[in-house]
Amino acid sequence: MHVSSPRHVLGDMPTCNRNWRLAGAFLALVSAGFGQQIPAESPGFDVVSVKPSLGDAGSGRGRKGPAPFTIEPTRLTARHLTLKGLIARAYAVDESLVKGGPGWLDSDRYDLDATVEKAASREQMLAMLQGVLAHRFLLKLHRETKLVPQYVLVVGKSGPKFGPNFHTAEASAKDGFRNYTMAHVAYFLFDNRDWWDPEAGPVLDETGLSGSYDPILNMRSRKDWLANFEQDTGLKVESRRISSELVVVDSARKPTGN
C-alpha cells in the first residue's frame, strides 16, 4: 500500500466500533424516548464541571493534543467541544444528524469534566452525560426520522476490480492496508474527507461485499482522489438520500456556573 498524503491510516481506527450503522442500534438502546426529561432520580456523576473553553484546541480531528472526548471507568472528559458535539457524543450520532437549536449550538465551545466514585460502563457514562446536558444546558430535544443526503460506499458499474490494486486479503502482504473489511474502508474515506469533502458526514458501507481485502490506494492529488479510488478498486462514493434518525434540539441555554 502506498499512501502519500492523507494523515490517517485504517490502523488508527479505534477499537470501539466506529461503524456508523451500529450507532443507530446503540442510540435506540441508550436514548429511547430521549425527547423526555431524564428523571431526577437517575444516577448521575458525583462531580461535574462545565466551563467555556479557553484558547483554540483545533478541530479535534488531528492526532496532536488531548483527545476531544474520552471515557474512562470513573471519568468523562470533553475538551473544546460545542454543545452540538456534546449532544452527538451523548446520543451516539454524527454531528451532521444534530439539527435545530440556538445559533451558538455549533460555535461556543466548552470543557467538561465529570467523575464518579464507582466505575461505570460506557453506556452508563453516556446516559449520565445526557442528564448533565439536560440540567446544565436546560437541553430539550426530540428525534425525527427523515430522508437526508449521506455518502455511501458502493460498487461501481465496472467493479469491483480485483487485481493488483484491490484483492482479497493475503497473509503474505507486507505493506498497505491488510485484512480490512469494507466497513474499515468506509471509515478510512470518512476520516480522510479533507481530501474530497471536508464537510462530509460518515460514509456508510453499501457495497454488499463481505470478507476482508487488501486495497492499494494510489493517491496522486486532492482533485482526482476519489476518481483514482474508483479507477483502482471499482468502488466509489456517492451521495444518496437515506432514512436517518435526527436529533432535533428544541431549546437550550448557555450554562451558568458549576
H, E, C per residue of the chain: CCCCCCCCCHHHCCCCCCCHHHHHHHHHHHHCCCCCCCCCCCCCCCEEEEEECCCCCCCCCCCCCCCCEEEECCEEEEEEEEHHHHHHHHCCCCHHHEEECCHHHHCCEEEEEEECCCCCCHHHHHHHHHHHHHHHCCCEEEEEEEEEEEEEEEECCCCCCCCCCEEECCCCCCCCCCCECHHHHHHHHHHCHHHCCCCCCCEEECCCCCCCEEECCCCCCCCCHHHHHHHHHCEEEEEEEEEEEEEEEEECCCCCCC
Residues 118 and 155 in one domain: no
Residues 63 and 153 in one domain: no
Q: Convert the pLDDT of each residue in 27-82 to its tens digit.
A: 333 344 444 443 333 468 999 999 999 866 544 444 456 789 999 999 999 999 99
**How many domains would you assign to the chain?**
2
Residues 132 and 36 in one domain: yes
Which pLDDT score is estimated for 36?
A: 41
Average pLDDT, the chain: 80
The answer to the question of residue 63 being in a domain is: yes
Which pLDDT score is estimated for 39?
A: 38
Q: Convert the pLDDT of each residue in 171-186 to its tens digit.
A: 654 555 677 899 999 9
Give 43 or 204, the one with higher predicted confidence: 204
pLDDT over 70 percentage in the chain: 76
Ranking 36-45, 104-113, 227-236, 248-257 by mean pLDDT, the lowest is 36-45
Give 155 or 56, the one with higher predicted confidence: 155
Confidence of residue 201 (pLDDT cuts 50, 70, 90): confident
Residues 28 and 139 in one domain: yes
Chain centre to alpha carbon of residue 86: 12
The answer to the question of residue 29 being in a domain is: yes
Residues 38 and 128 in one domain: yes
The answer to the question of residue 256 being in a domain is: no
Which pLDDT score is estimated for 85?
A: 97
Residues 172 and 221 in one domain: yes
Residues 106 and 138 in one domain: yes
Give 35 or 112, the one with higher predicted confidence: 112
The answer to the question of residue 257 being in a domain is: no
Residues 131 and 160 in one domain: no
Residues 134 and 195 in one domain: no
Full residue range of the structural domain in which residue 119 is found: 20-143+247-251
Q: Give the Cβ contact number of residue 92 at 10 Å.
A: 21
Which pLDDT score is estimated for 258?
A: 66
Q: Convert the pLDDT of each residue in 1-23 to its tens digit.
A: 344 444 433 434 443 333 333 33
Residues 132 and 70 in one domain: yes
Mean pLDDT on 127-142: 96
Residue 230 C-alpha cell reads as 474508483
Residues 209 and 183 in one domain: yes
The answer to the question of residue 25 being in a domain is: yes
The answer to the question of residue 5 being in a domain is: no
**CA 82/CA 87 separation, integer angstroms:** 9
Burial of 97 (0-12, 13-18, 19+ CB in 10 A): buried
Residues 182 and 114 in one domain: no
Q: How would you classify the pairing of strands 109-115 and 75-82?
A: antiparallel
